[in-house]
Chain A
Amino acid sequence: MKIKVVKDILGANEQIAERNRQLLDSKGVLAVNLMSSPGAGKTSLILETIKRLKGKTRLGIIEGDVSSSLDAEVIGKEGVPVVQINTGGGCHLDANMTHSALGNMPLQDIELLLIENVGNLICPAEFALGEHKKVLISSIPEGDDKPFKYPSMFHKADVVLINKIDLLPYLKFDTDAFSQAIRGINERAEIFQISCATGQGIEKWVSWLLTQMSRRQS
């Protein structure tokens, strides 16, 4: 006997993600899912963001890593609430892990939640966490062919940050061709060029974040 099913395999994850989003909405928290390959600058971006928003915006951070709490310790020193998720070998965060982390986060005390996903350009693209915005960091040393190699990730991003632009004089990277490739399959993506090392372009990123927060409140 053949049974017609037509059920989205990630439907269960989507449902939990939706519940996470409702919880965040009820507390007035904007959640941003930060994704990139390992070493592209997710933690550096979080630290730069904290530096500029501390005292102005109440931040919370969820750190996703395969193992260790190194990143959470670095961020914890900034005096910002941080919850570490260790996936224990898993290559991405999912909605259920995020749900547990939200339970340990003082949501009533924060208004902006940055979720650092596991460094990986493939798997995190498929798993919604309940975030409001997806942000992808792609750095100059990775090369400008990444949109072609990981189309799903670039297709879903609300923002693409091109990080480490201070290295442009030393490496071959065509930012125009890179941006054009992204826009080709994702015309709504906002693209910012930044350097967490020099601070260049970070203001624009922070102002984008603040705009998203004010849009939600209005």
Chain B
Amino acid sequence: MHELAITQSMLDIVLEQAEKAGAREVGKINLVIGEMTGVVDECVQFYFDFLSKGTSAEGAALSFTKVPTTARCRGCDKAFELKEFDWTCPYCQGNNMEIVAGKELFVESIEVE
């Protein structure tokens, strides 16, 4: 349910940027969300519909680019997508890795009129 706070922060950023650009209306919001953040698209959409009412972003389309959780093996240096319940390197079977992607949570761009 942290999506409520996240959606509010996202909307704040969008409205600030739209106002700066002198936009009348926000048509689309492009979001990048790493899988590791546990943010659920449907929840963001639900809260967005509610929070954006009466703002210039009301009715804007939300586009979600999801980034899979990706790890880099410290043993063989290869990168791979982290699987659920299996955190071994598929190349060398090592189990010491660094998370290199999947923690993203940002507004990439907005499309305004």
Interface residues of chain A, those whose CB is within 8 Å of chain B, are 1-13, 90-92, 94, 122-123, 125-127, 145, 148, 151-152, 155, 180-181, 183-185, 187
Contact = CB atoms under 8 A, between A and B. Distances in A.
- Chain B interface mostly: mixed
A64 to B, nearest CB: 14
Interface string B81-113: 010110110000001110100010111111111
A184 B17 contact: no
Contacts of B2: 91-92, 122-123, 126-127
B71 A185 contact: yes
Interface string B51-91: 00000000000000000010100100000001011011000
A5 to B, nearest CB: 5
A9 B6 contact: yes
Question: Contact residue range for chain B?
Answer: 35 or more
Interface of B: 1-2, 4-6, 9-10, 12-14, 17-18, 21, 23, 31, 36-38, 69, 71, 74, 82, 84-85, 87-88, 95-97, 99, 103, 105-113
Contacts of A122: 2, 38
A100 to B, nearest CB: 15
Contacts of A123: 1-2
A125 B97 CA distance: 20
A36 B50 CA distance: 30
Given A3-B17, A10-B105, A151 B82 contact: yes
Contacts of B74: 187
